[in-house]
Structure 1
């Protein structure tokens, strides 16, 4: 048996492989930060073996409360992922598996590789309605691509959608893949006659490649950087904000994933100092439109709502709502499953995330009539 994570997005530390079937592991910290939770590793030469895996420092994770109901994913081909139940005793997260394949991959959620990201950008740019507005160089010399979908015009609304500020929340980029594919079908979507879209499928390639859960190449949580972004340490948020000054923002969506909440939901910007009745109405209606489009989106808010003037302006959703007075939402997808529409075999999956990306177009189109 051999355990390794020496590949894109891989993350694990091997402590021991006693008797070839008992594997003791540790979560590895983000590069330059103390966050830890994401894991993604490969077990080789295990065909037909009853293997027991123990992550002995699970209690040190950033969100240990998520382990109590945790299921993880496994795959032999990295295309189809099956769910595995886990056990958490307050310190160690453990799971068993007997694989029919000599090599099996295990992860907290189905990874979205950097290679697939590059392919997504290339396929999108092949469409005549899609152009590359800007590339932002990261601390580790990777590129954040900002795509423009549709022609710009002073008579059109500006829609911004970003994803994967937190790199382990791969379901957010799976959603973006579905969204872009649907938006760019044939001659484009009817939305493009009314709005110009600015899309960032992956805000954090440094963290994605490194196998981080939460931070960029500087060890900074990008979604805590929007009030005082820095060109040197958080170029991703700094230059996106700079570009927004030129385009304006009429609708902002930030796509994330939540380790603990077993459903998809939105969190708004109701706690910003200048929150208006118009923003409140748009927020309520958008949630309703999305729920009417798919039962996989819940009107229920997974987080407590902020009291007036208590919103943290470092968070993208809050900062953009504050600066532009627009409908500004964080969309959270589950790592686990949707308790309102469960799938016992696959739980929440890349396929469901992609489908939700296609379904996101309907509430956007409907809310455009009110903005």
Structure 2
């Protein structure tokens, strides 16, 4: 049987270049109206009994080629369980093989940069949460492709907390984290969650970039715009997603904010803060550092040794959400980064950094917030 390659589905991205015997040559497609690319997600059919090598020929020209060394592609035969597969990178080409362990008897397999979080699963999450007691769902606006921008609100406390994810749509670990956060907050048996809801009101945007998510983009929306460079001056034409969320934040104010992302190169979970904003104070910065450092004490899935360099005084980029919210509201704002590779302090050779561990890290983050909410 001839091997068949397809990416014509929710979050799919690949272009078939050639099939020569048992070698399949592919390219990742650029984000629309953009030069960014790195996210891939495709299925291969007609593979039973075959020993195949998949080659992504343009990996070396991707947005973050430093993300490929040490990276392992994800594979699934049921789109539920995702495992890693041995992956090689040399000469600008990324390679991985089929079969992978016990999957050899399957007719079809899916391959992805990270475990996908489809728009269908997003709608399931929003619907499930909207039916929970004490949760209100609203549409903040519409994307350029006409998709709803969903926000879930819960809690009744005076502190205002905003959690938002997937400004960069290919960073699917961010919405897996959101699923874990929502499950923790709505758990009727969780006394810490109940106490936190009494002290804080949460506004949660699980997916800031539905268009890019569906289109299979790495980093941009339908107009090819990086949403996390729009927070200083969002417009309906370029970044309606940011405009809708920032307008809603202006109405509520922001005490604490977390922007959830994934990082291609660093094999660790870490936080980036708002050093360098014009309105920096040591008192505000101390609250961020306390959250970061106590999270490292609480969670084996988090560390503080690796991360991004901080901006010099007065040099923060206010087009990025964390800096903009800290400056605009005096908020304790931060960016959470999770790896596409593995968390090297606690590696899992079978799954790498995984959806389950994204959800567990969300639980740890919220338990940490509950412990210090009174001091924000």
TM-score (norm: length of structure 2): 0.95
Confirm whether residue 119 of structure 1 aligns to residue 124 of structure 2.
yes
Contact between 1:289 and 1:366, CA under 8 Å: does it hold in 2? no
Unpaired runs of at least 5, structure 2: none
Q: How many Å apart are 1:85 and its aligned residue?
A: 2.1
Distance 1:300 1:322 in 2: 26
Confirm whether residue 176 of structure 1 aligns to residue 181 of structure 2.
no
Structure 2 counterpart of 1:254, from 225, 235, 259: 259
Match of 1:203 in 2: 208
Distance 2:229 2:172 in 1: 19
Distance 2:139 2:59 in 1: 39
Distance 1:177 1:358 in 2: 10
Match of 2:351 in 1: 346
Match of 1:59 in 2: 60
Q: How many Å apart are 1:300 and its aligned residue?
A: 2.6
Per-residue CA distance 1:166-210 (angstroms, 9 max, x = gap): 001000000000110110011762111111000000000000000
Q: How many Å apart are 1:90 and its aligned residue?
A: 2.8
Per-residue CA distance 1:261-297 (angstroms, 9 max, x = gap): 1010000001111111112111111012211221101
Deviates more, 1:184-193 or 1:330-339: 184-193
Deviates more, 1:31-40 or 1:359-368: 359-368
Match of 1:23 in 2: 24
Give runs of aligned pairs for residues 286-365 of structure 1, distance below 5 A.
Answer: 286-365=291-370
Contact between 1:131 and 1:148, CA under 8 Å: does it hold in 2? yes
Match of 2:160 in 1: 158
Structure 1 counterpart of 2:273, from 268, 273, 280: 268
Q: CA 1:195/1:238 → structure 2, altered by over 3 Å: closer, same or farther?
A: same
SS in 1 for 2:69: helix
Match of 2:13 in 1: 11
Query: Over the residues paired in the alignment, what is the CA RMSD in angstroms?
Result: 1.1
Contact between 2:140 and 2:248, CA under 8 Å: does it hold in 1? no
Match of 2:235 in 1: 230
Structure 1 stretches of 4+ moved >2 Å: none
Distance 1:292 1:177 in 2: 23
Distance 2:360 2:225 in 1: 31
Aligned pairs, how many? 367
Q: How many Å apart are 1:47 and its aligned residue?
A: 1.1
Contact between 1:266 and 1:301, CA under 8 Å: does it hold in 2? no
SS in 2 for 1:254: strand
Deviates more, 1:240-249 or 1:207-216: 240-249
Q: How many Å apart are 1:301 and its aligned residue?
A: 4.4
Deviates more, 1:184-193 or 1:52-61: 184-193
Distance 2:139 2:108 in 1: 40
